[in-house]
Structure 1
């Protein structure tokens, strides 16, 4: 018999954070994104590292997919939740790119926050 290693509510809460992430990306809403990222989150791509504030500055300075009438085609590809940690694999089409994001989350003080984002273009 397998022990249940997460609560279904945690899975729901993680997917709600990811939905807010998708909406924030699509709308360029840095307040929405800021709320779901831990203050010390790091964003990483091959050959590139950014702090959360550097990334939010970039998001705020570019056009948004929504303003370009881009389709909302973001997808959760997989979710793993183990106790107070989660890893989510995402498909994020942004502009001419097709990113695969690996989003690491931790549940601290009762809230799920993104602590790490790794991504690369297909």
Structure 2
């Protein structure tokens, strides 16, 4: 059994941080490079169920704009070889809502990419 290098944890936090930075700035261009081109997202928001292509996230960021007062916490839950899971707690997004995200990551050509996003809106 091999130990996961600390640099993998740091790289995952860096990837997720770019996602958070994009939400805060309201600029999808900041976060797009850390998502796999075929990434998906599923969950519930204030309009109900939302699922499918990561294009849904780009549309959300375009519509919502910046979230300058958003707070976040990133927890890397597990890393095993080329796969990883992270939990992101978000408070006070562009609409004043709070979410918990679970991102599944895959190491592609030596780089960590978000392959899937699950999210839950806190009532």
Does the pair score TM above 0.5? yes
Matched pairs, number: 116
Partner of 2:84: 86
Instruction: State how far apart, in whole Å, the 1-side matches of 2:119 and 2:66 are.
Output: 19
After TM superposition, the structure 1 = structure 2 runs for residues 67-106 of structure 1, keeping only pairs within 5 Å, are 70=69, 72-93=70-91, 94=93, 95-106=95-106
Q: Is the 8 A contact 2:12 2:76 kept in 1?
A: no
Instruction: State how far apart, in whole Å, the 1-side matches of 2:20 and 2:37 are.
Output: 19
Partner of 2:66: 64
Instruction: State how far apart, in whole Å, the 2-side matches of 1:75 and 1:18 are.
Output: 10
Report Cα offsets for 1:69-118 as digits up to 9, x if no partner: x1x41001443111111100110121321101000000010110000000
What TM-score comes out, normalization by structure 1 length?
Answer: 0.86
Instruction: State how far apart, in whole Å, the 2-side matches of 1:57 and 1:41 are.
Output: 14
Partner of 2:30: 32
CA RMSD, Structure 1 to Structure 2 (Å) = 1.5
